């Protein structure tokens, strides 16, 4: 494999967002990169198995007690694991449930992205779909963004929207949003690896090029962004 760019994915749980990236690499939708390493803060995270099955390195990096350096040491451990994997151009937070300090964020400035299950800047935090439903919005969705010092606040890359159905409960809405995440996230990775994303302050411009329309089955009723 010549000159493929390297991706590191940080994930805490089931890893379906990670899987969407692995699948896009396997199918050739992402043609210019490969997942080199998956890092999890939980030893039993299914995400680690998904990474291993794909042939990526899969590393558990345990949280560190305060007396032994706490969050800063944990982040240095994660960075060391990424460095050891080698050739990582992009770091993706895919359901990574730890807040990252400026130490980490600055180390990967402009090459650290996150997926959030809400239309930011609304419904930041741990339960985007539930918060959106309780608020009573009629349209919900997901957002990929570059990571800045503030949580869920960096420049938006792509967003996808779905309708909120009158009979939705939290899990039904979250599942519909997740189906869209599984297209918006790998496409964001693809655009990054194709060097098609340019930051202009808060605005992220997507340069013209290929499209995934016609290459993936659209999520029913979903609204896709320019650039997809
Ligand atoms: C996704 O909804 C993601 O947006 C959120 O956490 C969830 C991760 O799901 N931050 P999975 O572990 O990738 O299946």
Q: What is the mean pLDDT of residues 163-168?
A: 98
Is pLDDT above 70 for 187? yes
Judge contact between 7 and 33, C-beta under 8 A. yes
pLDDT digits (tens, 9 = 90+) for 132-158: 999 999 999 999 999 999 999 999 999
- pLDDT value, residue 2: 58
Is 116 among the catalytic positions? yes
Q: Rounded to an integer, what distance in angstroms lies between the CA atom of residue 42 and that of residue 48?
A: 9
**Is residue 178 classed as helix, strand or coil in its secondary structure?**
helix
pTM, rounded to two decimals: 0.97
Ligand 1 mean position to 103 CA, how many Å? 24
Atom of ligand 1 nearest to the CA of 115: 4
Nearest CA to ligand 1 atom 8: 95
pLDDT digits (tens, 9 = 90+) for 64-79: 999 999 999 999 999 9
Ligand 1 mean position to 67 CA, how many Å? 31
Q: What is the mean pLDDT of residues 4-15?
A: 97
Start-to-end CA span in the chain (Å): 26
Q: What is the mean pLDDT of residues 93-99?
A: 96
Q: Rounded to an integer, what distance in angstroms lies between the CA atom of residue 141 and that of residue 176?
A: 8
**Is residue 179 classed as helix, strand or coil in its secondary structure?**
helix
Q: Rounded to an integer, what distance in angstroms lies between the CA atom of residue 115 and that of residue 156?
A: 10
Ligand 1 mean position to 39 CA, how many Å? 15
Atom of ligand 1 nearest to the CA of 18: 13
- pLDDT value, residue 3: 85
Nearest CA to ligand 1 atom 5: 95
Percentage of the chain surpassing pLDDT 70? Answer: 99
């Amino acid at each position: 494999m010549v000159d493929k760019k390297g991706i590191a994915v940080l994930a805490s749980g089931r890893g379906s967002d990670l899987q969407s990236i692995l699948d896009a690499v396997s199918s050739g939708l992402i043609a210019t990169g490969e997942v080199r390493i998956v890092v999890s803060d939980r030893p039993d995270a299914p995400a680690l198995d998904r990474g291993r099955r794909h042939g990526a390195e899969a590393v558990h990096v345990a949280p560190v007690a305060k007396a032994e350096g706490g969050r800063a040491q944990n982040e240095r451990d994660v960075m060391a694991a990424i460095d050891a994997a080698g050739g990582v151009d992009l770091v993706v937070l895919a359901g990574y449930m730890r807040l990252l300090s400026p130490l980490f964020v600055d180390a990967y400035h402009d090459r650290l992205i996150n997926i959030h299950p809400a239309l930011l800047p609304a419904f930041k935090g741990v339960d985007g779909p539930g918060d959106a439903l309780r608020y009573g919005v009629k349209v919900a969705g997901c957002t990929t963004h570059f990571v800045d010092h503030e949580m869920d606040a960096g420049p938006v890359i792509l967003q996808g929207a779905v309708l909120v159905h009158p009979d939705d409960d939290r899990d039904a809405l979250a599942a519909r949003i997740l189906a869209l995440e599984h297209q918006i996230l790998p496409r964001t990775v693809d655009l990054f690896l194709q060097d098609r994303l340019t930051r202009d302050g808060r605005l992220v411009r997507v340069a013209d090029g290929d499209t995934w329309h016609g290459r993936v089955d659209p999520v029913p009723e979903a609204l896709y962004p320019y650039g997809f």
